[in-house]
Amino acid sequence: MILGIRKLLPLIVLLFVSINSIGQEADANNGKDSLPSTWELLKYDGASAFGGMKYTYSRPLQWKKDDFITAGAIVAGTAALYIFDEETSEYFIEQDNKMPQLIKDIGWYYGSPQNNYAINGAVYLYGLLTKNEKVRKTGVLLISAASTAGLIQTITKTAIGRARPTTGEGKASFDPFRGIGAYHSFPSGHTILSFTTAYAIGKQFDNPFVKAGIYSLGMIAPVSRLWAGAHWLTDVGLSLAISVLVVDSIDNYLNEERLYGPEEKNRISWKFNVGLGRVGLTGTF
């Protein structure tokens, strides 16, 4: 079935923001002709995306004191939200009929895997075909982060088997490996995919207002899932934390381990020499 314009709106808006806005802060890329071929760049980026996934999954083995403190804070925060799961779920579900259908559509289609990967893939292909290094790297970050976080939520929600609010079984109902959607509440896949994309794109900008706008768009899916009674507040809260941790981890990996863009050309350094019977200017190339 062909999606209507309204349902395509989240893709169009985010794609426009991604390519146009990131391009504004991209380097001039004057050395484009000196870059490797498109095929070589594609292989390099594939290795980067896979490397980012391995790096993120292996990070807990290298955690230090601050990392354990962060993990403890996330666990404590999730436990605190759990206390209010029933009350917050009732409140959000009551708001569902008051929300515009357009907002609900954006939340659903933006967080759906096929649409999310379409956005991420379009950003990357634009960077690859134009050899715009900043956009290309952003595309790698988007694809790698979505794949990493997506796999985490797929395995976790099946292994935990938490009942969704709409089942009426309560927040403490768990049936691990049940294998049906009604018991795939924890964590929220829509939240993870939508906010992972928004957070990765937002990191490319220094302007706090641009960041806020992009993050706000990324929050539509999480909130809409609460309205629909598809998730508890703890599901969404932990999913947001997973998104941030995964994106930051892969972004650090790409910045530290991978080189994007042509190497800076050697600059000429000048040194003024004064000695007995001589005065000179030496240039080092």
Omega of the bond leading into 187 within 30 degrees of 0 (cis): yes
Q: What band does 94 get if pLDDT is binned at 50, 70 and 90?
A: very high
pTM of the model: 0.82
Amino acid identity for residue 28 in this structure: A
Q: How far is CA 175 from CA 82, 89, 158, 163, 231, in A?
A: 18, 20, 9, 7, 15
Give the list of residues 6+ apart from residue 86 with CB closer than 8 angstroms, or none. 170, 171
The token pair at 66 is 């601050």
In which element (H, E) is residue 281 found?
strand 278-284
Q: Express each pLDDT in 215-255 by its tens digit.
A: 998 999 999 999 999 999 999 999 999 999 999 999 999 99
CB atoms under 10 Å from CB of 52, counted, come to 27
Q: Express each pLDDT in 166-198 by its tens digit.
A: 999 999 999 998 778 899 999 999 999 999 999
Facing residues of 273 across strands? 280
Q: Is the pLDDT of residue 283 over 60?
A: no
Amino acid identity for residue 204 in this structure: Q
Average pLDDT over residues 104-121: 85
Domain that holds residue 163: 5-26+35-284
Average pLDDT over residues 61-88: 93
Q: Is the pLDDT of residue 272 over 60?
A: no
Residue 213: helix, strand or coil by DSSP?
helix
Count of structural domains within the chain: 1
